[in-house]
Amino acid sequence: MHRTWILALVLASALAPAAMAHEGHTHKALGVVSSVQGSQVEVKTTDGKTIKVTLDAKTAITRGKTTLTPAALKVGERVSIDYVQAKSVNTAKSVKLGETPAAAPK
Amino acid sequence: MLAAVSLLAVLAGLGLSYVRATGLSARATPGRIEARLARSVRAFAISSADRQKPNPVARSDEAVRAGLEHYADHCAVCHGNDGSGSTNFGRGLFPPSPDLRAAPTQQMTDGEIFYVIENGVRFTGMPAFGTGTAAGQEESWKLVHFIRHLPGLSEAEVEQMKGLNPRSPVEIRQEIEEEEFLRGGRAPD
C-alpha cells in the first residue's frame, strides 16, 4: 500500500509538467492567407493543409517591427501564425506578415 | 507529557486537515497570512551576516547587461523576461513566482536576494543556483544588479531578452524557416 502511494506520487510529479505544458501550448503555422471573414482567417499552410484561426483583441499582428491592425490581413499574404487550440477553436496569439505585402487582386 | 502529546495530536490533525482540504494542489494562491508568514520565516532563516552582505560587484552597464543575459537564460522561464512571474511555469507553482519588480522583492537587501539565488528556497520552485565558486557568485551578484534594474526595464531590453531565452534546436530551425518564408523564400519541406 505504502509503495503504491509512493509510485503514485512519483508518477504525479513526472506527469505534472507535461500536463501543464500541454495546456496553452502554442502551435505554429506557415502559409498563405486564403480567406478573411471578419475575425476568421483561413490559411493554406506550407504542408498543404487548411487551417482556420480566430483573431481576438490580444492578437499581435506585425510586419517586421511594425504593428498592424487586422485590416492588414489580405488574401495572398504570407503569414506565420502562433496559435493556441481550445475546444476546436484556434485562437491566434500572433500573426507575422511577410516582408512584402500581397499584391492587390486584379 | 499529556499536554505535549495533545498538542502534537492537534498539530497533526491540523496538518492532515490542510492536506485533505487543499489536496496539495499547486493551483491555489497562498493567502495573505500564509504569504506573510512564509516571508517572515525566510527572512528569519537568512542570517544577519548574509542579509547585510554588500554587493561586491560595482554597478555598471556591463554588470547589468551580464545579469540580463544570465537571467534571460536561467530565470525567465519561471519569472518572465519582465520579472512579472506571468509565465506558464511561474503561474503554476505554489507559491507562484513572485513579481520581482514589486516591493516584497525590491525591499529585500542585496544580500538576501543573493542568498536566495545561491541557496534557493525550500518548499517553493526556487532552485539553488550556487556552484560554490567565486565565478558563480560573481554571476549571482550581477543578477542582483539586474533584479534591481527590473522595475525600469525597457521594451527594447525585453525584446533583446527574447533572443537570449533558451530554445530547442527544433525551435531554432523553425525560426530560420519562418524568416526565410516571410522574406518570400521557398516554403519549408
B13 in a structural domain: no
Q: Is residue B22 domain-resident? A: no
DSSP B98: P
d(CA A13, CA A81): 33
Which residues is A90 bridged to in the sheet? A85
Instruction: Report the C-alpha gap between A42 and A49 in whole angstroms.
Output: 10
Average pLDDT of chain B to the nearest whole number? 93
Contact B182 A78 (CB under 8 A): yes
Is residue B6, in this structure, part of any structural domain at all? no
- Domain membership of residue B17 (yes or no) is no
Could you tell me if residue B75 is inside a domain? yes
pLDDT tens profile A48-90: 999 999 999 999 999 998 999 999 999 999 999 999 998 889 9
Q: Is A21 on the interface with B (CB under 8 A)?
A: yes
B58, three cell numbers: 560595482
- Is residue B33 in a domain? yes
- Number of structural domains in chain B: 1
Phi, psi of A28 (to 5 degrees): -125, 140
What percent of chain B is predicted at pLDDT more than 70?
Answer: 98
DSSP string, B54-87: PP-SPP-HHHHHHHHHHHHHHTHHHH-TTSS--S
Of A20, A28, A100, the CB nearest to B92: A20
Residues of chain A with C-beta less than 8 angstroms from the C-beta of B183: 98-99
Interface test with B, best of A28, A30, A65 (most B CBs within 10 A): A30
Tell me the C-alpha distance between B146 and B60, whole Å.
10
Q: CA-to-CA distance for B157 and B176, rounded, in angstroms?
A: 22
Residue B182 lies in a domain: no
pLDDT given at position B24:
84
Chain A residues with CB under 8 Å of B182 CB are 78, 80, 96-99
Record: contact B181-A99, CB cut-off 8 A: no
Q: What is the ipTM of this complex?
A: 0.71
Structure pTM? 0.71
pLDDT beyond 90 at B2: no
In angstroms, rounded to a whole number, what is the distance separating the alpha carbons of residues B152 and B167? 26
Asked if residues B104 and B113 have their Cβ atoms less than 8 Å apart, the reply is no
> CB within 8 A of B55, min separation 6: which ones?
B110, B114, B141, B144, B145
Distance from CA of A98 to the nearest CA of B (A): 4
Q: Residues 6 or more apart from B181 whose CB is under 8 A from it? A: A30, A46, A78, A80, A98, B187, B188
Domains and CATH numbers, chain A: 25-97 (2.40.50.320)
d(CA B75, CA B81): 8
A13, A22, A27, A78, best to mutate vs chain B, most B CBs in 10 Å = A78
Q: What is the pLDDT of residue B189?
A: 60
CATH number of B78's domain: 1.10.760.10
Cβ contacts of A46 on chain B, cutoff 8 Å: 181, 187-188
Say if residues B145 and B64 touch (Cβ distance below 8 Å): yes
Domain extent for B62? 29-169
Helix B61-74 vs helix B134-149: angle between axes, to the nearest 10 degrees? 100
- The pLDDT tens digits of the residues spanning B109-144 come to 999 999 999 999 999 999 999 999 999 999 999 999
Q: Do B88 and A21 touch (CB under 8 A)?
A: yes
* Residues B10-27, mean pLDDT to the nearest whole number: 88
Residue B189 placed within a domain: no
- CA–CA distance, B98 with B75 (Å, rounded to integer): 12
Q: Does B181 touch chain A (CB under 8 A)?
A: yes
Number of alpha carbons in the 13 Å side-chain half-sphere of residue B149: 23
- CB of B89 less than 8 A from some CB of A: yes
